[in-house]
């Protein structure tokens, strides 16, 4: 029995459920729409933020997201990225806007291809991109509107030198370390920040 990791191929969404070698009316796209339409949900918003950054760096659209990777994305020229997201507005009932904080904990990397785990906790990416859906009005919030997002970008060296908690970072702390950039400045800023790792 072969128990190696399955390498997933990209689906189109047109694939159908089958029964007794017969296609049913339900497609993979139907599942995606049913499962992923709530982009404000924390888990879905995090994946969507990865996608947003991917589009900004001109990632390989034919590739499939690697849920088990040591980092989230890689630029075409090899800069490893960790993507974090947060938002003031959630899809559930709120008494007040959410407080903005991002997890920056070092981790043990588990290799899903070999089933081996690293023995030292570290940050595996070169650059961190903190994606904030900064819109504060529940009636008009729209994660598809890139004007409602802002992006804070730090090199891993900058995070490693952060004098406070090494587990999380607040928005106020981020603002002391770097300025927000719009979507169309993400790629340029990633390159600039990566240079700080090379010094």
Q: Sort strands 116-117 and 110-111 into parallel, antiparallel or unpaired.
A: antiparallel
Q: What is the pLDDT of residue 166?
A: 80
SS3 120: coil
Residue 14: pLDDT above 90?
Answer: yes
Its pTM stands at 0.91
Strands 149-155 and 127-133: antiparallel
Residue 158: is its pLDDT beyond 70? yes
Q: What is the pLDDT of residues 163-195, one digit of tens each?
A: 877 889 999 999 999 999 999 999 999 999 998
Predicted confidence at residue 3, as pLDDT, reads 64
Poorest-pLDDT segment among 35-49, 133-147, 162-176 = 162-176
Could you give the maximum distance between any two Cα atoms of the chain, in Å? Answer: 61
> 32: part of which helix (H) or strand (E)?
helix 28-36
Task: Supply the DSSP string of the chain, one letter for each residue.
Answer: ---SPP-PPPP-S--EEEETTEEEEEEHHHHHHHHH--TTSHHHHHHHHHHHHHHHTT--TTS---TT-SSSEE-TT--EEEEEEEES--SS--SSPPPPEEE---B--EETTTTEE-SS-B---SEEEEEEE----TTT--TT-GGGEEEEEEEHHHHHT-SS-SSEEEHHHHHHH---B-GGGHHHHHHHHHGGG--
Model confidence at 7, pLDDT cuts 50, 70, 90, reads: confident
**Cα separations in angstroms, 107 against 10, 47, 117, 129, 132:** 28, 19, 10, 17, 22
From 123, 115, 135, select the one nearest 83 (Cα to Cα).
Answer: 123
The Cα–Cα gap between 57 and 108 comes to: 26
Cα(5)–Cα(127) distance, integer angstroms: 28
């Amino acid at each position: 029995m072969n128990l190696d990791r399955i390498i997933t191929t990209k689906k189109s969404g047109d694939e159908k459920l089958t029964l007794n070698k017969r296609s049913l009316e339900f497609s993979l796209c139907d599942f995606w729409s049913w499962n992923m339409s709530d982009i404000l949900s924390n888990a879905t918003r995090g994946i969507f933020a990865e996608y947003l950054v991917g589009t900004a760096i001109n990632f390989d659209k034919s590739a499939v997201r690697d849920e088990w990777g040591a980092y989230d994305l890689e630029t075409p020229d090899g800069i490893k990225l960790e993507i974090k997201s947060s938002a003031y507005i959630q899809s559930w009932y709120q008494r007040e806007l959410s407080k903005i904080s991002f997890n920056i904990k070092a981790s043990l990397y588990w290799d899903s291809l070999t089933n081996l785990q690293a023995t030292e906790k570290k940050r595996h990416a070169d650059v961190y991109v903190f994606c904030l859906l900064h819109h504060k009005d529940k009636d008009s919030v729209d994660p598809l509107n890139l004007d409602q997002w802002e992006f804070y970008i730090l090199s891993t060296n900058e995070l490693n030198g952060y004098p406070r908690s090494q587990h999380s970072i607040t928005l106020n702390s981020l603002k002391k370390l770097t300025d927000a950039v719009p979507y169309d400045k993400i790629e340029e800023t990633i390159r600039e920040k990566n240079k700080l790792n090379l010094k």
